[in-house]
Structure 1
Amino acid sequence: MPHAPQVKIPATYIRGGTSKGVFFNLTDLPEAAQVPGEVRDNILLRVIGSPDPYGKQTDGMGGATSSTSKTVILSKSEEADHDVDYLFGQVSIDKPFVDWSGNCGNLTAAVGSFAISNGLVDASRIPENGIAVVRIWQKNIQKTIIANVPITNGEVQETGDFELDGVTFPAAEVQVEFMSPVDATDAMFPTGNLVDELEVPGVGTFKATMINAGIPTIFLNADAIGYTGCELQEVINGDDKALEMFETIRAYGAVKMGLIGDISEAAARQHTPKVAFVGAPQSYVSSSGKQINADDIDLNVRALSMGKLHHAMMGTAAVAIGTAATIPGTLVNLAAGGGERDAVTFGHPSGTLKVGAEAIEGENGWTVNKVVMSRSARVLMEGWVRIPGDVF
């Protein structure tokens, strides 16, 4: 029986923040995949190597973690006053689907550099030396993000001495600004409350801050679920009962936030919402062996992504953390000591991260003007990915 030969598709493999993914220029995809649908999803699944019942993604570009099972499609922006349209697909590792429900904040750091290097940003907006301000339209969540990309001799500067916990080697700093991550017409707190009582049948009832900023996130107090907030990955990811508990909490929280109508729908929406837990600042040793001192952080935060504790912190969850920290009375704010603030430094499994936010309270509740953090990005490989031709 004859088999279809492999086809090759132009692609770039890039690390952005503490994630990495396969980036595509929309026009380089096969024509049938230039629009949303089954063909596009099937191609991306095969590129990454999913679904893989072994959980390894050996026959694809994925790295068998939520941070490395990612795809990005970029194109010249169709939105006024923007340079590039950014579409993110979170690829399930062991199931045959791509989740388009949210953004990847870490890979956002790489969007500007890819857009510049691939001619998606008008040359007049790129200085010979200095900072190129790339205006990104995030299509998944319909929001504006600004990436400040360093330029040297007319080209993207990727090397540098900026160190990001969770990334082994230093690189050039890319400041990312998430502009108005919550629309004024949207509810930052979908339930209308800064803190809710979240009832989870068979698990318990917990105080929870449920916020929609950056990405829908459910924050819990660490001690309420038997943790301190200093945990590393192996403590939770090796505990099947703990993972089941978090997934159940996530499902019921998603219903309460109005993201799904029934808990049965949570299985098909793995990317959102996120579940995170917060604790008062305590010293701990990070996954790299680095000593994190309580005096250097405002609080500890741990977050789950795609059913596992994240090795560092998702960029979009950091937006939620920064936003919630600036709003007195949220669990995040209280864990950080309460009161008013415009920035927060939190501990995560790989180290620390500082996030700044501008949040204001008006007649219609809280709004956030922008959230700012520094990341880095580096091209790892560019050329073509190959997939069997019978995939699409």
Structure 2
Amino acid sequence: MVHAAQIRIPATYMRGGTSKGVFFRLQDLPASAQAPGTARDALLLRVIGSPDPYGKQIDGMGGATSSTSKTVILSKSGRPDHDVDYLFGQVAIDQPFVDWSGNCGNLSAAVGPFAIRSGLVESSRVPHDGIATVRIWQANIGKTIVAHVPMTGGQVQETGNFELDGVTFPAAEVQLEFLDPAAEEEGAGGAMFPTGKLVDDLEVPGIGVLKATMINAGIPTIFVNAEAVGYTGAELQDAINADPKALAMFETIRAHGALKMGLIQSLDEIATRQHTPKIAFVARPVDYVSSSGKLVKAGDVDMLARAMSMGKLHHAMMGTAAVAIGTAAAIPGTLVNLAAGGVARKAVRFGHPSGMLRVGVEARQKNGEWTVTKAIMSRSARVLMEGWVRVPGDA
């Protein structure tokens, strides 16, 4: 029997924010994987080590969590006023599919540094010292992200004193601007609030009627009040992830919310759409101890937020969900805004399982309609390994 030899593909393993993933230049992929389709998905699944019925991704680069089962493909942009096109693939762990339905806000922080280092940004736009402004086209959702990347001695600066809760070591700060972040999702008509309401009555069989804010900003997100689903908003991962009934409840709410948002046409479609929408619960501030043992005081945050990612409670906060939180917090009347005190605001500090995060938002109301021009947050990024990934030639 003839066995296919392994092939090697240039790749970089990077941390971006509280996530990490395998980064590729489009031009470095095998020809069959340079276009969307089954060949590309099959390759990325094999790189990450999915589907894995053991849930460990031992035979691949994945880390067996939603935060570490990620891939990125970058190419020079042909769009005016953009440097690089950025495509994100969320790889399922135990199922054979790659979800292309949304962005990863955390890995967005690594896109600028990777693009500069890989020669995808014109050298004339990159200072020897200072801040390089990288204009990114987020191809999954058709939005612009502007990354401000520190440069020192002609190289991307990765080390520094910026601390990000959910990441163990400090690094250099990368500021991200998510421009016009209201997502133009299919079925939602491009509306920030696809149902036309700031708060909906969401009827969920077996649970009842829940108040919900459903928003398309950063990533489609369904917000419910923590107390309405039996929680305080100060929970850490084990309180949710070790409880199969809780996981099933949140997935049921997510499915019915997705249906009401117009993201799916039938409930059974949700099984192949794990990445979006997100489901999150919010609450007014209380003191709690984060997963690192750090005390988060109620007076240091405006509200509490916990979010589910790929069926599990996230260990910190997804960057795109943070954009949704910041956007909803800026609009009076949403559940997120009410949890944050119910006042108009240009920024929100929220507590998550690993600590705190601040998001700035520029929102305005015109003719009764809310628009958000920009959401701003700081993350960090670092190269963990670079070289080649190897996969069987028949992958």
2:222 corresponds, among 206, 214, 218, to: 218
Output the CA distance in 2 between the equivalents of 1:361 and 1:257.
22
Alignment of 1:270-309 (within 5 A): 270-309=274-313
Q: Which amino acid aligns with 1:170?
A: P
Number of residue pairs matched? 391
* 2:76 aligned partner: 76
Q: Larger deviation: 287-296 or 360-369?
A: 360-369
> CA 1:199 to 1:183, structure 2 compared with 1: closer, same or farther past 3 Å?
closer
Where 1:104 maps in the other structure, the secondary structure is: coil
Return the alpha-carbon distance in structure 2 between the equivalents of residues 65 and 203 of structure 1: 28
* 1:183 shift after superposition: 6.6
User: How far off its partner does 1:256 sit?
Assistant: 0.2
Q: Distance in 2 between matches of 1:192 and 1:250?
A: 18
Alignment match, 2:235: 231
Q: Distance in 1 between matches of 2:297 and 2:343?
A: 22
Q: In the aligned structure 2, how far is the partner of 1:183 from the partner of 1:293?
A: 33
Distance 2:231 2:8 in 1: 47
| 1:9 aligned onto 2:24 | no
Aligned: 1:55 with 2:47:
no
Alignment match, 2:342: 338
Deviations 1:337-366, CA, capped at 9 Å, x for gaps? 011100000000000000000111112611
Amino acid across the alignment from 2:219? I
Question: What residue is the counterpart of 2:140 in the other structure?
Answer: 140
Which stretches of structure 1, 4 residues or longer, exceed 2 Å deviation after superposition?
Answer: 183-186
SS in 2 for 1:361: strand
Q: Which amino acid aligns with 1:147?
A: A
Whether 1:129 and 2:129 are equivalent positions in the alignment is yes
The Cα of 1:202 is off from its aligned counterpart by: 1.6
In the alignment, is the contact (CA less than 8 A) between 2:358 and 2:377 conserved in 1? Answer: yes
Residue of structure 2 in register with 1:389 after alignment: 393
Q: Which deviates more from structure 2 when the two are superposed, residues 314-323 or residues 358-367?
A: 358-367
Where do residues 198-213 of structure 1 align in structure 2 (5 Å cutoff)? 198-213=202-217
State the secondary structure of the residue aligned to 2:211.
strand
Once the two structures are superposed, residues 191-231 of structure 1 have per-residue CA deviations (whole angstroms, 9 ceiling, x without a partner) of 00000000011222100000000000000000000000000
Q: Which runs of 5+ in 2 are unaligned?
A: none
Query: What is residue 64 of structure 1 aligned with on the other side?
Result: 64
What residue number does 1:363 align with?
Answer: 367
Q: 1:218 to 1:305 in 2, by over 3 A?
A: same
Q: Report Cα offsets for 1:85-109 as digits up to 9, x if no partner.
A: 0000000000000000000000000
The one-letter code matched in structure 1 to 2:322 is: A
SS, match of residue 262 in structure 2:
coil
Aligned match for 1:321, one of 299, 304, 325: 325
Alpha-carbon distance between aligned partners in 1 of 2:234 and 2:167, rounded to the nearest angstrom: 19
**Aligned twin of 1:176:** 176
Q: Is the contact made by 2:89 and 2:98 (CA closer than 8 Å) also made in structure 1?
A: yes
Identity percentage over the alignment? 74
Tell me the distance in 1 between the aligned counterparts of 2:371 and 2:207: 33
Q: How far did residue 154 of structure 1 move?
A: 1.1
Alignment check: 8 A CA contact 2:110 2:381 kept: yes
Letter in 2 for 1:175: Q
* Amino acid aligned to 1:197: D
Gaps of 5+ in 1: none
1:197 aligns with 2:163: no
Q: Structure 1, residues 150-171: CA drift from partner, whole Å, max 9, x if none? A: 0001110000000000000000
**Structure-2 separation of matches of 1:28 and 1:297:** 44
Counterpart Cα distance in 2 of 1:39 and 1:204: 43
Contact kept, 8 Å, 2:183 with 2:220, in 1: the verdict is: no
1:20 matched to which residue of 2? 20
Q: Secondary structure at the match of 1:191?
A: coil
CA distance in 2, matches of 1:205, 1:73: 41
Output the CA distance in 2 between the equivalents of 1:307 and 1:360: 33
Give the 3-state SS of the residue equivalent to 1:106 in structure 2.
coil
What are the equivalent positions in structure 2 for 1:90-109 lying under 5 Å apart?
90-109=90-109
Q: Does 1:38 align with 2:43?
A: no
Q: Are residue 264 (structure 1) and residue 249 (structure 2) matched? A: no
SS at match of 1:32: helix
